[in-house]
Structure 1
């Protein structure tokens, strides 16, 4: 019987993951990953967060909040790029940390990301539903409250639009990633076009006076810090949620063509494009109207265009934004299902989830994620859980950043030399860890409490089930029983 210490620190052989994932079809190219990354990162947030954070925390300096958040995300993305290049396995951080630090630490990182995917699928589904209902309302079409809102919220029983959207995406993905990638690529081009349209039209309505003072004087409000570096910092913690989607690319590493080159280009390229779009939208938005106009405004981009005399452009941008939300739903559903597949593959959760269908697709895991996403997104009010997305993912980011030090010791030995390496080693990995900790520290106390509860549940599941049913555990038992017989 393995001791507790042995269970926590036992590591998976990278060659085992390579063999286990060899049945997955490698069909995704750089352009597919860039579309997947941009589609996942540039989601609902780009049409809401710039106005919300400007009004609540930073004023015109919301641009700096987006820049700082992009820099921190970029530091971690370099670590992700090296990890994905060296170990192109399904499950991203879960699989990497399992190899680098050990099974228990891998489970903690994977469990952190699972919160992101469960809640993000539900969050985007609900956001898509709200925007769709807003679009059809001017046409005189209003859905009954019972099928418009989550259970127990404003007379709701089920958010039927969110449920249908999540199921449609699952059906698309069940046919294989190649079909989904083609649709994703087209929708991303359409969405980026709508954002560029907003930037061009919105730029004509910019007034320089709206940028003064660029960094308002600091004071406390009911929403927390406003103005000064404190307001910028508060904005960073709230905005960082928008950038974390690049880990959805890494989760699909096992389905990449030439992953040593494809993965770094996809991860870093998509993040660079997304950061430029976020900064551009926030700069134009606060220049069009004074930031205070966006307080409690659920659709600041559409509102700004309409009040600047461009109602047709506003309708076009908002219509495309609803379609564009499908790109984030595709990205998060793909990544979440691959993570669940990895858990099942390793015996950390029931092995049924790690089974592939006749065409080598992880549809059992996809089915599980879809059911949970529909329940959370269409039946349960989940706003209080949304901060779990940032809290959990930031913890996984810290693991990955520190993991570079252990990875370098094994590159060229039991782990192949990657096609990409994180620059400025050993300084940059430390900066990635410190940056993630910096953002995590700025999250609200509720986020930290919810994250603590989530991790406690995860540890209970690990020690009650995963530690005893994992394939690593069974290998150890086989070795021990063989030694006993001898």
Structure 2
């Protein structure tokens, strides 16, 4: 039994990852990573969540919810910045935790992230489908229900738009990171311009009375109003900020990662926070927060009601096509995570193979197939809770991992190009913040994460441990 537990904590040698990932093209710059981060973080949620959270939980104090969620995200982002600059390997938390805590703990962190990428890609694909169809219906383009609903839902067979968009983005990512980055950069600029357009136009329609009271009184027995409502809003909103993991997952393809990774992670998060808080403040200032109850497109609604119908259509159209940016970021990150599992033998080695362009397209193919099945055929709305839960688990691992990383830097591990400030206090605050957000998720999210965790442990014990290249090397060296 003692030897079994010892096997769980065998640590990977960082030089092994460095050698295996060296074949990947190091072409991504700070500009590319900021676009990747902003594109993934500032997804469609910026056009929906501020209104939803304001109406259901926080009222005008939705901006405080966004700020508090951003504080927690920033604390974790500092940990990510140090980890990625010291250990610039594909797979982000999986690879880092395997090096500093051991393979089993790395698997748990990586497995938690895998749920995020599988479901998030499908989730955004379905969101793209719904929003594109809503844009086309006023001009008479209506698809039959069999091709717009998932299998068994309202007479549906397949969400054909979701299927097509996921396959198209996979084809783009499969051509190479440089090509994907160019498209990402252009679409992110367009999306940010659309957000700025809403903010500028919306400022002309603000009524200060809508901000009073800024923190509505708490309604007993509910999670609306007071600090209870703000806290409930934080757990909902945090989903929007988790996209910086998509930057870290591509660390093996960064130019000068010691500097590039921290700047990309922290820079993209800073831009995202400013945009989210600005949109939230403008939105609740234009109309009373209760007007956004049950509204799936509050930004478009506010613009139209304020007499800016044309601008509303422009912003919504850009928002729809801007969803490509989130898909690009998540498919790049998810395929690199799957590649790293195959690279280490924890999943079939075929996943860890690079093609003649040194791209992990086998892993990309598997990610695409699973995302298409989820997004085009399966009713999975409740599973979206796993996106936040899985990522928060990985965030807690990375935050606490700084305590194991710091003493080894400059010794058996490279010196980090960026140091998490206020050590040793800040890593603890990051861990506590991520835990509190996780605790604020609903019971379904916690249940699904437990089921996914148990399934992942079984996969590791039955397959991963017996095929692990690290375990084989350790056995041979005895």
Do both share a fold (TM > 0.5)?
yes
Task: Map residues 368-387 of structure 1 onto 2, 5 A cutoff.
Answer: 368-387=366-385
Q: Residue 85 of structure 2 corresponds to which residue in structure 1?
A: 85
Unaligned runs of 5+ in 2: none
Distance 1:272 1:339 in 2: 25
Paired residues of 1:211 and 1:286 also in contact (CA < 8 A): yes
1:153 shift after superposition: 2.0
Distance 1:286 1:165 in 2: 33
Aligned length: 478
1:220 shift after superposition: 4.4
Distance 1:155 1:213 in 2: 46
Unaligned runs of 5+ in 1: 481-486
Residue 175 of structure 2: SS of its match in structure 1? coil
Task: Map residues 32-431 of structure 1 onto 2, 5 A cutoff.
Answer: 32-220=32-220, 224-431=222-429
1:152 shift after superposition: 2.0
Distance 1:220 1:20 in 2: 57
Residue 257 of structure 1: SS of its match in structure 2? coil
Paired residues of 1:2 and 1:476 also in contact (CA < 8 A): no
Distance 1:169 1:81 in 2: 27
- After superposition, the Cα gap between the structure-2 partners of 1:339 and 1:2, relative to the gap in structure 1 and judged at 3 Å, is farther
Q: Residue 25 of structure 2 corresponds to which residue in structure 1?
A: 25
Distance 1:291 1:154 in 2: 32
Distance 1:359 1:127 in 2: 32
1:144 shift after superposition: 0.5
1:328 shift after superposition: 0.1
1:479 shift after superposition: 2.2
Paired residues of 1:90 and 1:254 also in contact (CA < 8 A): yes
Paired residues of 1:147 and 1:158 also in contact (CA < 8 A): yes
Residue 223 of structure 2: SS of its match in structure 1? strand
Q: Residue 440 of structure 2 corresponds to which residue in structure 1?
A: 442
Residue 347 of structure 1: SS of its match in structure 2? coil
Q: Residue 483 of structure 1 corresponds to which residue in structure 2?
A: none
Per-residue CA deviation, residues 449-485 of structure 1 (Å, 9 max, x unaligned), is: 11000000000000000011010111123224xxxxx
1:4 has 2:16 as partner: no
Distance 2:374 2:264 in 1: 30
Distance 1:429 1:277 in 2: 26
Distance 2:422 2:2 in 1: 40
Residue 413 of structure 1: SS of its match in structure 2? coil
1:6 shift after superposition: 1.8
Per-residue CA deviation, residues 416-452 of structure 1 (Å, 9 max, x unaligned), is: 1111000010010000000001101111011101100
Residue 343 of structure 1: SS of its match in structure 2? helix
Per-residue CA deviation, residues 279-302 of structure 1 (Å, 9 max, x unaligned), is: 000000000110111111110000
Distance 1:262 1:72 in 2: 22
Per-residue CA deviation, residues 238-297 of structure 1 (Å, 9 max, x unaligned), is: 100000000000000000000000000000000000010000000000001101111111
Per-residue CA deviation, residues 37-94 of structure 1 (Å, 9 max, x unaligned), is: 0000000110100000000000000000000000000000000000000000000000
Residue 226 of structure 1: SS of its match in structure 2? coil
Q: Residue 13 of structure 1 corresponds to which residue in structure 2?
A: 13
1:151 shift after superposition: 1.5
Backbone CA RMSD of aligned residues: 1.0
Distance 2:18 2:434 in 1: 29
Distance 1:462 1:376 in 2: 23
Distance 1:21 1:220 in 2: 54
